């Protein structure tokens, strides 16, 4: 499968899923009606406000939350920062506790807030079910890991939290899995489920002790500053509705394809497959190859037509050794993350398994292994 012989296969959906057809249709339809400021009382403003309200209602229905619990942000990272720091401010004291495998957006927010406590995880990347440390203001726990796919026991953690509110980063799982129970504030990101980039979602449960951590703005939604991107919000909601409607079928198919990949990769020598094999995101597999440089592996696979990721899910552009894999005690070099799109086929998986052993063998030979 040379690069000129067939189209490239994009397997980095965990970073950004290709735009869903429903999102494209909704966005184009909204461009002519959603350009005005939805705060204005003239006809164009009322039209934009109606589209924005429809987007919020549709997204709330898909996530099974209240419309007034939904805010649109400029990105998933912005939603994480607003959500986590707003809960921390609302607690009026204490420090943030978080799992050691949280996304860098969470870790940066924790550092900005003065630091916190990292909770260790097991070899699968799952945190132990236990009360948070004394003096904890917020417990930050992802619904599923962006890098290895392992789900976290959010409802069980909420049950032993002793009144400490949970902030849940659901960016990796929203649309693919139902939102877990037990969160006070959650965050999601539209481009992870096939919506447009530049749309994040902040979810604040009614009654949550959340206070705005940054300067406020006189917009429709007091939780989020800035002019709303109405067409993009509508496109994000349309994509999410479509993804949730097809979730059972697509998820089952992706689970089977990942099981096929896991079996083939596990049979290779000196390869460490990481993450829970069952309780995981349906579309994602991460493995590390001993004696192989991750950048070289990604480059060679790309040359052969497979677009995969390496390094940490949040620092892959710099190929920084993964803090997630390090926290799990797994091999941090020669790392590959495969995340399938909704259109991935069994033939593509088999083609990947056909070329991967030869690629790894050649790269190992170049360094004398």
Contact 106, 98 (CB under 8 A): yes
User: Rounded distance, CA 13 to CA 11, Å?
Assistant: 6
Residue showing tokens 């190992």: 364
**84: three-class secondary structure by DSSP:** helix
| The pairing of beta strand 95-99 with beta strand 136-140 | parallel
What are the extents of the domains in the chain? 9-16+247-366, 21-245
Domain 21-245 sits in CATH at 3.40.640.10
Contact 74, 200 (CB under 8 A): yes
**49: three-class secondary structure by DSSP:** helix
Residues of the chain with pLDDT under 70: 1-7, 311-320, 369
159-164 own/partner pairs: CB under 8 Å, 24+ apart: 160/129, 160/130, 160/131, 161/131, 161/132, 162/131, 162/132, 164/97, 164/132, 164/136, 164/137, 164/138, 164/139
In terms of Cβ atoms closer than 10 Å to its own Cβ (0-12, 13-18, 19+), residue 32 is: exposed
Structure tokens at 277: 């094999």
DSSP string, 263-319: HHHHTSTTEEEES-SSSB-TTEEEEEETT--HHHHHHHHHHTTEE-B-S-TTTTTTT
In the prediction, which pLDDT does 315 show? 44
Question: Please, what's the b/e burial string for 96-123 (b: 16 or more CB within 10 A of its CB; e: otherwise)?
Answer: bbbbbbbbbbbbebbeebeebebbebee
In the prediction, which pLDDT does 1 show? 43
CATH C-level class of 9-16+247-366: alpha beta
> For the whole prediction, is pTM greater than 0.85?
yes
Partnered with residue 274 across adjacent β-strands are 286
User: Rounded distance, CA 339 to CA 296, Å?
Assistant: 19
Catalytic positions, written as ranges: 314
Local structure of residue 143 (DSSP, 8 states): S
Residues 6+ apart with CB under 8 A from 28: none
Local structure of residue 69 (DSSP, 8 states): G
| The pairing of beta strand 116-119 with beta strand 284-289 | unpaired
Partnered with residue 118 across adjacent β-strands are 98
Residue-wise pLDDT for 279-320, tens only, equals 999 999 999 999 998 889 999 999 999 999 986 444 444 556
User: Rounded distance, CA 202 to CA 76, Å?
Assistant: 8
């Amino acid at each position: 499968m040379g690069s000129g012989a067939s189209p490239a296969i994009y397997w980095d959906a965990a970073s950004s899923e290709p735009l869903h057809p429903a999102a494209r249709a909704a966005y184009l339809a909204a461009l002519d009606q959603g350009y005005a400021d939805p705060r204005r009382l003239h006809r164009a403003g009322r039209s934009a406000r109606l589209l924005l309200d429809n987007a919020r209602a549709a997204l709330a229905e898909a996530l099974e939350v209240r419309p007034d619990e939904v805010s649109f942000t400029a990105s998933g990272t912005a939603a994480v920062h607003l959500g986590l720091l707003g809960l921390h401010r609302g607690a009026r004291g204490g420090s943030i506790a978080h799992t050691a495998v949280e996304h860098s957006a969470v870790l940066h927010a924790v550092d900005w807030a003065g630091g916190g406590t990292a909770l260790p995880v097991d070899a699968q990347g799952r945190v132990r079910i236990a009360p948070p440390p004394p003096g904890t203001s917020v417990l930050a726990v992802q619904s599923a890991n962006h890098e290895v796919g392992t789900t976290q026991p959010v409802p069980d953690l909420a049950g032993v939290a002793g009144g400490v509110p949970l902030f849940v980063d659901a960016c990796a799982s929203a649309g693919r899995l139902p939102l877990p129970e037990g969160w006070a504030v959650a965050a999601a990101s539209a481009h992870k489920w096939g919506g447009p980039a530049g749309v994040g979602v902040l979810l604040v449960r009614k009654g949550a002790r959340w206070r705005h951590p940054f300067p406020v703005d006189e917009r429709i939604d007091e939780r989020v500053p800035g002019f709303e991107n109405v067409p993009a919000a509508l496109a994000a909601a349309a994509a999410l509705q479509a993804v949730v409607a097809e979730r059972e079928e697509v998820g089952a198919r992706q689970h089977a394809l990942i099981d096929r990949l896991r079996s083939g990769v596990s049979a290779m020598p000196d390869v460490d497959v990481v993450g829970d094999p069952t309780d995981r995101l349906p579309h994602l597999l991460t493995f590390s190859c001993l004696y192989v440089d991750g950048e070289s592996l990604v480059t060679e696979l790309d040359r052969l037509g497979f677009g995969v990721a390496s390094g940490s899910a949040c620092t892959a552009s710099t190929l920084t050794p993964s803090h997630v894999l390090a926290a799990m005690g797994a091999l941090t070099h020669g790392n590959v993350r495969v995340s399938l799109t909704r259109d991935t086929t069994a033939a593509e998986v088999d083609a990947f398994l056909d070329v991967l052993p030869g690629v790894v063998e050649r790269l190992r030979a170049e360094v004398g292994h």
